[in-house]
Amino acid sequence: MSEALIQEILESIQLHSSALDSPNVAHLVIHSNKVVSSHALPGLEIQVRELAEGIDADITVTEGTVIEQPVHMCFGMLPQEGVQRIVLRVDVQPKARISIIAHCTFPNAVNVRHLMDAEIRIGQEAHYTYFERHVHGKEGGVIVVPKAVVDVGKRARFHTEFELLRGRVGQIDIDYETTCRDFGVMEMTARINGTGEDVIKIREVGHLIGEGARGALTSKIAVRGNARAEVYNKLTASAAYARGHVDCKEIVQDNGVAMAIPIVEVNHPKAHVTHEAAIGSVDTRQLETLMARGLNEDEASEMIIQGMLS
Amino acid sequence: MGIIQVRNLSLAFDGKRILNQLNLDFREGSIHAIVGPNGAGKSTLASTIMGLSGFRGITGDIRFKGESIVDLDIHERARKGLTLAWQEPARYEGLAVRHFIAASTPDKSKESVLDALSRVGLNPLEYYDRAVDKTLSGGERKKIELASILAMRPRVVILDEPDSGIDVESLERIFDAIKILQQQGTTVILITHSLTVLKQADHAFLMCHGEVLDRGDATRIIQYFEGRCLPCHHKNEPTLNGSGGTA
């Protein structure tokens, strides 16, 4: 695979190629259904099989392995049309630690579908951090459907963030479900900026089934133009001292439409779950403060929204 | 001629007159106080001068450097050099202090932001990357708002209840910043019902029930405010009831 293709992919996500050059930094770059570049490290095993329209990958961090530097994963398609299906199994074995930065880039998409099915197992006392940043083009011709089922072991930690702030969303349909065992911690955050005719659907479900398990589901969404957002967050707690919080903030402008459906379910008298949802326009006091410093209404709104989404 | 002139300004909500035929001149470079009890109309006057939403339905005129600004939007008034600090500063989830302050500065430079933070007594490196959100105390947000105003270098600033919700030490820092503003040529208008704040002013207007009862040297207004104004007796002092004249 040509260096030029790698360069083009990296440029679209504003990642300098030197970020992948270090022998201490693992990476995996996938274009359509091809492995463009990869680099593993001792204790980090990456196995990839090509599919007709994507890849099937196993990522294993062996027991006790600590990957010091974040691993870069790039999934993308440069053509205007196509399908990329990612089937991913991640096994973070006990006491292992890994942080992944996933860049998903579709800069020229007119009719592209990006589908991900992930199974993630985080072993006892292991830590897994997954930050997924999407970069889309201006056309909004992308359908993104990421699904993940996550099992967080005893005293393990799972932290995931999904960010789609650059380019048009197109259509996105996130479906994550996480189960958290004794004293495990799960944090799931989605930050998405919808404009035009974008459609955003988020379904995040967390089950705190272990004693002392903790979880937070956070969604921060902006909808402008004719964009629509529907956020369904469900957090259940069924063990003593399980603690959780659901937080949904959505800013609506123009003809945007936002809906939040927070569900909390507690099945143990010593568990505790809270939720808050705030949907509406930009706060007047915030807006007028910035306008009193000389920003016009559009500039002030943009600053407030970018802050909320950051 | 004052840098800000208020002429025959009235404002009513639901038929109730909140500001009644006000005439005020704010001298350029001075520290003015608008003093009076709760409900006097002080903050309403500030909101009206800044042109905030809900305070635009006025009669009369407000002039900035001789030019009427009543038809200007908030940001247009700000670009002329007029700004306002609220009694309760806004909180912004995720918005970094550096971005908040830089938004006010002409050059947007890091140096301007750091300098403004240090001038209000905050450790610049500690606050530069923090968010202007609920993790900051009310006093910290007040100082950060003042830092944004110092960085803006406005011609006129209205500070609404600058002592509200802050400790004594922080108040001294805010008074220092007010002096800095005056030294850089900014006209300061303090909205207050506090004698401590009133003592920072050169000149004061005494307001009650939407009217200006008295105006003049701050030391004289202090004596009245201290001795007779609390509780308000102005309804029984018809000789004090007047709204004409200028500063």
- Identify from A284, A293, A303, A308 which residue to disrupt to test chain B contact, counting B C-beta atoms within 10 A and taking the largest count: A293
pLDDT for A1 beyond 60: no
What are the tokens at B197?
Answer: 């704040």
Nearest CA in chain A to B50: A292
pLDDT for A161 beyond 60: yes
**Quick one: how far is CA B96 from the chain centroid?**
24
What are the tokens at B225?
Answer: 């405010």
What are the tokens at A164?
Answer: 């789609």
- Cα separation, B103 vs A218, in Å, equals 28
Q: What is the pLDDT of residue A77?
A: 86
Q: What is the mean pLDDT of residues A34-44?
A: 92
pLDDT digits (tens, 9 = 90+) for B165-207: 888 878 888 999 999 999 999 999 999 988 899 999 999 999 9
pLDDT for B240 beyond 80: no
Q: Identify all chain B residues contacting A290, using CB atoms and an 8 Å cutoff.
A: 103
Q: Identify all chain B residues contacting A300, using CB atoms and an 8 Å cutoff.
A: 75
* DSSP letters for B27-59: -TT-EEEEE--TTSSHHHHHHHHHT-TT---EE
pLDDT for B90 beyond 70: yes
Put simply, the answer to whether A288 touches B103 (Cβ < 8 Å) is: no
Partner residue facing B103 (CB), from A283, A284, A303: A303
Where residue A4 falls among pLDDT bands split at 50, 70, 90?
Answer: confident
Cβ of residue B238 closer than 8 Å to a chain A Cβ = no
Entry field: residues in chain A: 310
Cβ of residue B74 closer than 8 Å to a chain A Cβ = yes
Closest CA to B188 of B196, B178, B177: B178
Eight-class DSSP state of B234: G
- Identify from B95, B97, B157 which residue to disrupt to test chain A contact, counting A C-beta atoms within 10 A and taking the largest count: B95
Amino acid letter for position A291: M
Closest CA to A74 of A65, A84, A62: A84
pLDDT for B224 beyond 90: no
- Cα separation, A219 vs B95, in Å, equals 17
How far is B239 from chain A, CA to nearest CA, in Å? 38
The answer to whether the beta carbons of residues A262 and A229 sit under 8 Å apart is no
- Cα separation, B146 vs B171, in Å, equals 12
Put simply, the answer to whether B89 touches A289 (Cβ < 8 Å) is: yes
Put simply, the answer to whether A310 touches B95 (Cβ < 8 Å) is: yes
**Judged by CB atoms within 8 Å, which residues 227-286 of A form the interface with B?**
249, 283-286
pLDDT for A165 beyond 50: yes
Distances (CA, A) of B13 to B17, B59, B60, B74, B206: 6, 12, 16, 20, 22
Partner residue facing B92 (CB), from A249, A286, A297: A286
Q: What are the extents of the domains in chain A?
A: 3-309
How far is B79 from chain A, CA to nearest CA, in Å? 5
The answer to whether the beta carbons of residues B36 and B204 sit under 8 Å apart is no
Q: Identify all chain A residues contacting B145, using CB atoms and an 8 Å cutoff.
A: 289
- Cα separation, B113 vs B126, in Å, equals 12
Put simply, the answer to whether A293 touches B83 (Cβ < 8 Å) is: yes
Closest CA to B157 of B185, B193, B121, B130: B185
**Phi, psi values for residue A266, rounded to 5°:** -120, 125
Q: Identify all chain A residues contacting B99, using CB atoms and an 8 Å cutoff.
A: 303, 307
- Cα separation, B115 vs A209, in Å, equals 51
How far is A254 from chain B, CA to nearest CA, in Å? 19
Q: Which residues contact B168 (CB under 8 A, 6 or more apart)?
A: none
Q: What is the mean pLDDT of residues A288-294?
A: 97
Q: What is the pLDDT of residue B243?
A: 42
Put simply, the answer to whether B90 touches A289 (Cβ < 8 Å) is: yes
How far is A216 from chain B, CA to nearest CA, in Å? 17
pLDDT digits (tens, 9 = 90+) for B42-86: 999 999 999 999 998 899 999 999 999 999 999 999 999 999 999
pLDDT digits (tens, 9 = 90+) for A123-141: 999 999 999 999 888 888 9
In the A/B pair of chains, how many CB contacts fall below 8 A?
69
pLDDT for B236 beyond 50: no
- Cα separation, A21 vs A135, in Å, equals 22
Put simply, the answer to whether B103 touches A308 (Cβ < 8 Å) is: no
What are the tokens at A93?
Answer: 């074995």
Where residue A57 falls among pLDDT bands split at 50, 70, 90?
Answer: very high
Average pLDDT over all residues of chain A: 93
Asked if this assembly's ipTM is beyond 0.90, the reply is: yes
Handedness of CA B118, B123, B127, B133 (dihedral sign): negative
- Name the pairing type of β-strands B187-192 and A111-122: unpaired
Whole-model pTM above 0.80? yes
Q: What is the pLDDT of residue A184?
A: 98
How many other β-carbons are positioned within 10 Å of the β-carbon of residue A169? 26
Q: Which helix (H) or strand (E) holds B235?
A: none
Cβ of residue B44 closer than 8 Å to a chain A Cβ = no
Q: Identify all chain B residues contacting A295, using CB atoms and an 8 Å cutoff.
A: 75, 103
